[in-house]
Amino acid sequence: MCVEIQANVFRIINRSKVAVLVETTHSKNANNLLLGALMGWLIYLDLIRDLSIVVTAAGYLQSQRTRKLQHERARREKAMSMIWEFSRSMTPRSSAARKLVRHFNTYQIDRLDQGLELALSSEHKALLCASLPDDISLGGQETDGIINLTRNQSFLLRWEIISRLNAAEVVAQSWQKDVADRKTIEEELRFLLEDQNNQNILTIFGKIASPKDFPALAALINELERQRHPGNAHEPLDEPFLSKLLRKRRGNSHKPAAH
């Protein structure tokens, strides 16, 4: 009897141990499942955070690219606007004055710069008439193939030149200060250079177009001259092409002027 009771007690104890062991195993499995789910959510949140960083960075880069494109477009539009205004400032008189002064020597240019009377050959009468206002008459000023300009006519002719130079200086300032697209301005204003004798708008007008009076235009012309002569691209800055061309112009213009 005692043996039976003892055997039953052992059976109950063993069953209890098995039950505790099973319950412990189930608890561990539940904890493992909860921990796994939590780790999965953490990984998912990290992925979302990383993706948000990537999206934010991509959006920032795109906005910077768009802003840069808009800035470049605005600079090109600014350049075209400046060139358009410069083109509007060009008149038949200013164009004729440029062609006329091309035939002047240094003495004549100096007198024109001072607004003094000057004499020129009557073979240039057509250009002279086209350079002056319509109400200015040359009647009685031509003798022996020489036209004698009054001081008033000299000032008017000089003003046509200065007006064109001032308009070009404004465009050159936007080029020099980099507020407009430099390449566009260089391409559109290349006509300021002339193939004939390597002249340009400053060397043609000589003393009237002093680089000191038109610094930005002088810098632009110097750059265009460097592009026209790429072999001399490393010319020292203290001896620009413009200075050489101005000296060449003076050296070739020592012919005695008509008086």
pLDDT tens digits, 62-75 = 777 777 777 688 88
SS3 259: coil
pLDDT per position as a tens digit, 128-143: 988 988 777 776 678 8
Residue 149 pairs with which residues in a beta bridge?
118
236 pLDDT more than 50:
no
Comparing 21-30, 67-76, 104-113, 147-156, which segment has the lowest mean pLDDT?
A: 21-30
Per-residue pLDDT, 68: 77
SS (H, E, C) 144-158: CCEEEECHHHHHHHH
Buried b (16+ CB within 10 A) or exposed e, 141-162: beeeeebbbeeebbebbbebbb
Comparing 54-58, 94-98, 174-178, 202-206, which segment has the lowest mean pLDDT?
A: 54-58
92 pLDDT more than 80:
yes
Per-residue pLDDT, 19: 46
Burial of 175 (0-12, 13-18, 19+ CB in 10 A): buried
Q: Rounded to 5 degrees, what are φ and ψ at 103?
A: -95, 0
30 pLDDT more than 70:
no
254 pLDDT more than 50:
no
Residue 215 and residue 218: Cα distance in Å, rounded?
Answer: 5
Tokens representing 240 are 């620009």
Per-residue pLDDT, 259: 38
120 pLDDT more than 80:
yes
